[in-house]
Structure 1
Amino acid sequence: MLSQKARYLISFQYSGTMYSGVMETPPHQATLGVQNYLEKAAEKLRPLVPVKFVISSRTDTGVHALCNTAHIDIERSGGKPPFSESVLVQALNRNLKHEPIRVLAARRVSDTFHARFSALSRTYVYRVVTGCSCPSDLPVFERNLCWVTQRGHLDLTAMQEAAGLLVGTHDFSTFRSASSELPAKNPVKTIDQLEIRPSSGFLMHHVKSSDLKFWELEFTSRSFLYKQVRRMAGVLVAVGQHRLDPECVKTLLDIRDLMAYPPSTIAPACGLFLKNVEYCEADLDTGRTEAET
């Protein structure tokens, strides 16, 4: 019997500390990417052809995802019907049980849907903690999940003033990475939303007499330049520490020169989380009901 190919949008999360990033790496590399483990889990589904995860949003070494997405095509042999969405999620998670990776959802989509190019926006959250005299002050369940700064608490008003200068459409050449793989990529990006707010750490209500304060910087755009979010976060934190003036953001945007980016300012990878990827509901609607396995 002829096999039937089915395309799915897969939503998944991971702690990025032990991976080289989300993208696939050569199998002989000491540290692999999240994609390597996802595709290894899919192998155990016994597809007719190997399953490739087409990732929507690249994250680098040490960066986490509350929800990243990818699309996959699965063909089953022997004329078997497509996996139901719920069974696919359960099977992939069963095969990923030894990794800090979890499939959140699967959804049947049309054969023309593309996880990367169909995305309307991406939202990242950057987490910062202040009030630490040394990194060991951080609770163990927060380690590798936020940027530990040691210059006192942040000036929220100054940061919000600086953030307002980043919102909108700008040439972000100064905020592109010097090691960018795509130097010719258009540096003009639109920041749709940028919010800075005090936050609470994981389970911090159980920690008594703590001087720790947590902060979240949330960025939304259709797309970002390589390491742009970490570079914007670093500048905003420097403003909050009074190392930079809020108006310096406008100067950095106007100069359009990556070499003008303040040295030793980029935020470390550990505090960055991909929060979600948004799609138009019409692009996700295939008009099909969930298939039976």
Structure 2
Amino acid sequence: MENCTARYLIFFQYLGTKYSGVMKTPPHQLTLGVQNYLETALQKLRLENEASLYISSRTDAGVHALCNSAHVDIQRRSGKPPFSGKVLTEALNFHLKPEPISVIGAYRVREAFHARYRALSRTYTYRLVTGFTHHAQLPVMERNLCWSLRDTELDTRAIQEAASSLLGTHDFSTFRALSSETPFKSPVKTLLRAQLQPGQESFAQRHFNRNLQFWELTFKSPSFLYKQVRRMTGALVAVGQGRLSLSQLQELLEVRDSLAYPKNMCAPPTGLFLTRVEYEDSDLSLDT
């Protein structure tokens, strides 16, 4: 039997606190990316090829994912049939221990499938917390999973009104951070969802500090610019704190200049979660 190469779409999640981001870094770097650990787990499957992941959605250091995705080509040794999605998922999770990274599903996909370009949309949720005056009043298990806005009262109606003004297709140049790849990407994006909702009461909140109030800002778009979600979140929080008016937010959007974005307003990475990457059902319809 000839060697058979199969392409898989892999969904995975991770706590981003200890990683340099999702993307692969040089092996000599002190802090590695999530991709480094996933590819190491793949190589432990004794493959014929050097399996390289193609990540759908980039996340930076400290940013988490409940669901990111990537595709990979896997060539098994002669005589070995392709992995089923279930077997591949279980094998990768075995080799990922004890890292806070987990593969939540794997699907055989067509040879031409691309995890990044076939994605229909990405959804990000940013977690905020208010209702405390001192760092020690926040449960330790939440400290890397939210933006701690102590001594803060938020005008949630103003935030929602401001978020709604960002919906639709705009040039979001002001809300992207400059990077080496920025000049080659169109700043025009379509925001399909921008919504503020109260977060559900957590176990730690119920048993540790009932004064805490969690909030979730959710954004959905086919794609985002570099740090767009964190910049939008920072601006919306500033509106909720009364530091930025709705008209000033509109001016930032209309000026279309990254350098016009106020310094020190960008939200920190700790509260940001990539929560969903969507595809056509037909992309996942191959027999696994």
Query: Would you say same fold, with TM above 0.5?
Result: yes
Partner amino acid, structure 2, of 1:223: S
TM-score of the two chains, using structure 2 as the length reference: 0.97
Q: What per-residue deviation string (whole Å, max 9, x for no partner) do you get for residues 116-139 of structure 1?
A: 000000000000001221222210
Rounded Cα–Cα distance in structure 2 between residues aligned with 1:203 and 1:240: 27
- In the alignment, the residues of structure 2 paired with residue 10 and residue 210 of structure 1 have an alpha-carbon distance, to the nearest angstrom, of 38
- Matches of 2:201 and 2:32 in 1, distance apart? 29
* TM-aligned CA deviation for residue 83 of structure 1: 0.8
Q: Which residue of 1 aligns with 2:162?
A: 162
Is 2:224 aligned against 1:220? no
Match of 2:31 in 1: 31
Q: 1:125 touches 1:275 (CA, 8 Å); kept in 2?
A: yes
In the TM superposition, what is the alpha-carbon distance from 1:250 to its structure 2 partner? 1.1
Equivalent in the alignment of 1:252: 252
Aligned residues: 288
Output the amino acid matched with 2:132: C
In 1, are the aligned partners of 2:164 and 2:195 still within 8 Å (CA)?
Answer: no
State the distance in 2 between where 1:90 and 1:183 align. Answer: 41
Letter matched to residue 175 of structure 2: F
Aligned residue for 1:207, secondary structure, equals helix
Instruction: Look up the equivalent residue of 1:43 and give its one-letter code.
Output: Q
By how many angstroms is 1:285 displaced? 2.2
One-letter amino acid of the structure 2 residue matched with residue 97 of structure 1? K
Whole-Å separation in 1 of the counterparts to 2:50 and 2:172: 39
Q: 1:90 to 1:216 in 2, by over 3 A?
A: same
Q: In 2, distance between residues paired with 1:49 and 1:179?
A: 33
* Cα distance per residue 1:31-81 (max 9 Å; x no partner): 000000000000110010111111000000000000000011111112210
1:162-203 per-residue CA deviation (whole Å, 9 max, x = no partner) reads: 011100000111111034532331111000111101113531
Gapped regions of structure 2 (runs ≥ 5)? none
Match in the other structure for 1:40: 40
Q: Within 5 Å, which residues of 2 pair with 1:263-282?
A: 263-282=263-282
**TM-score scaled to structure 1, two decimals?**
0.95
Identical columns (%): 58
CA distance in 2, matches of 1:166, 1:117: 24
Counterparts of 1:178-257 in structure 2, within 5 Å, are 178-179=178-179, 181-204=181-204, 206-207=206-207, 210-257=210-257
Q: 1:13: which partner in 2?
A: 13
Given that 2:193 and 2:219 are in contact with CA atoms closer than 8 Å, whether structure 1 keeps it comes out as yes
What code does the residue aligned with 2:97 have?
Answer: K
- The Cα shift of 1:210 comes to 2.7
Return the offset for 1:97: 1.0
Q: Which moved more, 1:192-201 or 1:62-71?
A: 192-201
Work out whether residues 25 and 36 of structure 2, in 8 Å CA contact, stay in contact via their aligned partners in 1: yes
CA distance in 1, matches of 2:2, 2:188: 47
Q: Contact 2:139 / 2:205 at 8 angstroms: preserved in 1?
A: no
Are the equivalent residues in 1 in contact too, given 2:191–2:221 (CA < 8 A)? yes
Hey, what's the Cα distance between the residues in 2 that align with 1:236 and 1:71? 34
Q: Distance in 2 between matches of 1:136 and 1:73?
A: 47
Which residue does the alignment assign to 1:133? 133
